[in-house]
Amino acid sequence: MSLEVRNLTKRFGGLVAVNGVSFTVERGELVGLIGPNGSGKTTLFNLIAGVLKPDGGEILFDGERIDGLRPDEVFRRGVVRSFQIPRTFWHVTVAENLALPPRQQRGERPHVAPLRRLWRPQELEIARQVSELIDALKLTAVNRNWGSEISGGQMKLTEIGRSMMSEGKLVLLDEPAAGVAVPLAHEIFKHVSEVRSSKSTTFIIIEHKLDILLEYVERVLVMHEGRIIYDGDSSGAVRDQKVVEAYLGVEAS
């Protein structure tokens, strides 16, 4: 098993943003996390990534508790997340933004740096992966631009690229298709599907563009007012009475 969330709760003052949430995600699953605005999706990601501390409940990753760990400790265990609002490094190029995150870059260790033959093959491999991603994400034209010079949509793509380069075991993507043209959104999801198949990476993806998301995920978790109101196959979600009512803003009876 990859991720197990047990009875997780997070309060902001009187508001219970995440309210007793439990679910498990197996290794290699590609799961959609959906729900109306303010239903607690990003808060749930922040709890898993260690950005927020839960008020109750447990999070286990690969069988070990990760709730209460710092974000860098959670990252080191293989949990990577992208942000709803992209956080691109401004003063390096797009390509360098993608080359930054891989783990254990040999050339960065002081005693190895002078010995070029030790780190050169790894650098070439990283460069190959970066160039593949730049093609897949259609960033070729801005590849050498500064992170500060590109559009919001391109920052989003750079941020997604960075998450993909991080070699996480569990990748959490917060609205990867927001602000991105429809054909490119499909490219992103196709790329995610490929990485998932080739590396058995686990993905949980928050996305409001349901018509796109539901084409690629077989399972969805639906949140409403801090609770999971549906956990099952995507085709069933759009027909589920509670889900439909949550999206229409009607009280479930």
Ligand X SMILES: Nc1ncnc2c1ncn2[C@@H]1O[C@H](COP(=O)(O)OP(=O)(O)OP(=O)(O)O)[C@@H](O)[C@H]1O
Is 86 a residue that touches ligand X (CB under 6 A)?
no
For Mg ion, the closer of residues 43 and 93 by Cβ is 43
Among 32, 35, 78, 101, binds ligand X (CB under 6 A): 35
Smallest distance, ligand X to C-beta of residue 230, A: 15
Question: Which one of the spans 35-43, 146-154, 184-192, 193-201 is the region binding ligand X (CB under 6 A)?
Answer: 35-43
Handedness of CA 243, 244, 250, 252 (dihedral sign): negative
Are residues 191 and 163 in contact, defined by beta-carbon separation less than 8 angstroms?
A: no
Instruction: Name 23's bridge partners.
Output: 5
Site for Mg ion in 6-45 (CB under 5 A): 42
Among 3, 41, 213, 229, binds ligand X (CB under 6 A): 41
For ligand X, the closer of residues 28 and 179 by Cβ is 179
Return d(Cα 235, Cα 241) in angstroms, integer: 13
Return d(Cα 87, Cα 196) in angstroms, integer: 24
Element spanning 33, H or E:
strand 30-34
Smallest distance, ligand X to C-beta of residue 175, A: 7
Buried b (16+ CB within 10 A) or exposed e, 75-89: beebbbbbbbebebe
Among 20, 28, 38, 102, binds ligand X (CB under 6 A): 38
| Contact partner, 127, from Mg ion, ligand X, none, Cβ < 5-8 Å per class | none
Query: Which residues contact ligand X by CB under 6 A?
Result: 12, 15, 17, 35, 37-43, 84
